[in-house]
Amino acid sequence: MAQIVPVTDKKLLAKFIDFPHELYKNDPFYVPELHIAQRDMLTPGKHPFHEHAKMQLFLAFEGDKIVGRIAAIINGNHNATKNVTEGFFGFFDTINDKEVSTALLNAAQNWLKENGQTKILGPVNFSTNDICGLLIKGFDGPPVAMMPYNAPYYLPLLEDFGFTKKVDLRAYKYTAGNYNDRSVSLLEGLENRLQRSNIIIRKINLKKFKEEAAALREVYNKAWDKNLGFVPMTDKEFDYTANDLKLVLDTDFCYIAEQEGKIVGFALAIPDINQILIKIKRGRLFPTGLLKLLLGKKKINGIRILLLGVIDGYRKLGIEACLYGRIIKAFKAKNFQYAEASWTLEDNDMVNRPIENIGGQLYREYRILEKEI
């Protein structure tokens, strides 16, 4: 019989963070999260999400052995923006045991119900602005940067508990030489046409990163506002995420569309840092992890196209094609081997069709599930 223990101190938090390392120690595709980043994310006062949210972490024990973990999360901004009483579960990992998964899910569900929620959704860590979704297709390789990974048995365990599909998320892959680079050949003409409307495409300016981030935050919250489950980031949340991304940012893959000083769209692809993290044992930077991180960055040969958005009033002018063209041009120049475009909503034809037209192959799918409490 699994015993559920709330995480109440730093020692239990460390065990919570470390559990996946044990669970997946024999899985060649598992990528450990950096311990220090997970610790800060899950510690109130360290991450700005906690300023408008409540969370309770739980561990499942069988004797002295940890066999599962889960987080129950109430995102106050989500509920206020959507006018709902929906809680989330996240950071869900378990052995392949229905009794253990049921005990964990019951603990999260009961905590959410006690705190006034009427529905539970997930897995989401912490919101759709963060890592979210359950891998349901494409278990044949490690995840790319900032994408989830889990064993195939998770889905039946969740469905046994009563969860049903809310929405599927898609990931598309491009491989070197196997994509349509028409947008590159058209790039000069498209950009010249945009310039007649005083719209230019430029790289991000890291010397003015703080000012750029402030302008990009406004665009991000406008360009993605119609996405399912999207909740605008607070200023502090966006700055926190931007500063994290700055550590891995390659300016050759971050482009801004601007009209007379006003940013109207941007695209961001990040190097697939998971190529390095997969080699950092238990996510510890010391004693050797930091060296692997520093030396490995130059050897990365893949990217994740993380964001590409244009605000209302500027869509279908060719800006999207120019942003994609710039990224593809850099991809070719650096002789990178693959790119993943992720994630997109399964029914977002306006985004999915251009990705497919360029040659993106749908190769992984993720699911967000829901259940009435």
**The pLDDT of residue 257:** 95
Q: Is the pLDDT of residue 336 over 70?
A: yes
Residue 85 pLDDT > 90: yes
Which tens digits make up the pLDDT trace of 343-369?
999 998 888 988 888 889 999 999 999
Q: Domains along the chain?
A: 3-169 (3.40.630.30), 175-365 (3.40.630.30)
pLDDT value of residue 215: 87
The predicted model gives 279-299 an average pLDDT of 81
CB 108 within 8 A of CB 125: no
115, pLDDT greater than 80: yes
Quote the percentage of the chain above a pLDDT of 70. 98
- Angstrom distance (rounded) from CA 101 to CA 73: 17
Give the model's confidence band at 226: pLDDT under 50 very low, under 70 low, under 90 confident, else very high.
low
188 pLDDT higher than 90: no
118 has pLDDT over 80: yes
The yes-or-no verdict on residue 240 having pLDDT over 70 is yes
Predicted confidence (pLDDT) at residue 203 exceeds the cutoff of 90? yes
Q: List pLDDT tens digits, range 25-51.
A: 999 999 999 999 999 999 999 999 999
Residue 305 has a pLDDT of 95
**Mean pLDDT, residues 69-75 taken together:** 97
**What average pLDDT is seen over the chain?**
92
Model confidence band, residue 225 (pLDDT cutoffs 50, 70, 90): low
Q: What is the mean pLDDT of residues 307-332?
A: 89
**pLDDT tens per residue across span 134-161:** 999 999 999 999 999 999 999 999 999 9
Amino acid type, 343: W
**Is pLDDT at 294 greater than 80 in this prediction?**
no
Q: What is the 3-state secondary structure (H, E, C) of the chain?
A: CCEEEECCCHHHHHHHHHHHHHHCCCCCCCCCCCHHHHHHHCCECCEHHHHCEEEEEEEEEECCEEEEEEEEEEEHHHHHHHCCCEEEEEEEEECCCHHHHHHHHHHHHHHHHHCCCCEEEECEECCCCCEECEEEECCCCCCCCCCCCCCCCHHHHHHHHCCEEEEEEEEEEEECCECCCHHHHCHHHHHHHHHCCCEEEEECCHHHHHHHHHHHHHHHHHHCCCCCCCCCCCHHHHHHHHHHHHCCCCHHHEEEEEECCEEEEEEEEEECCHHHHCCCHHHCCCCCHHHHHHHHHHHCCEEEEEEEEECCCCCCCCHHHHHHHHHHHHHHHCCCCEEEEEEEECCCHHHHHHHHHHCCEEEEEEEEEEEEC
More confident site: 43 or 292 = 43
Q: Which residues sit opposite 256 in a β-bridge?
A: 202, 266
pLDDT band at 79 (very low <50, low <70, confident <90, very high): very high
Cis peptide before 287 (omega within 30 of 0): yes
pTM score: 0.93
177, pLDDT greater than 90: no
pLDDT at 229: 66
pLDDT band at 231 (very low <50, low <70, confident <90, very high): confident
The residue among 184 and 304 whose pLDDT is bigger is 304
Please tell me the predicted confidence (pLDDT) of residue 154.
98
- Percent of the chain residues past pLDDT 90, beyond the cut: 72
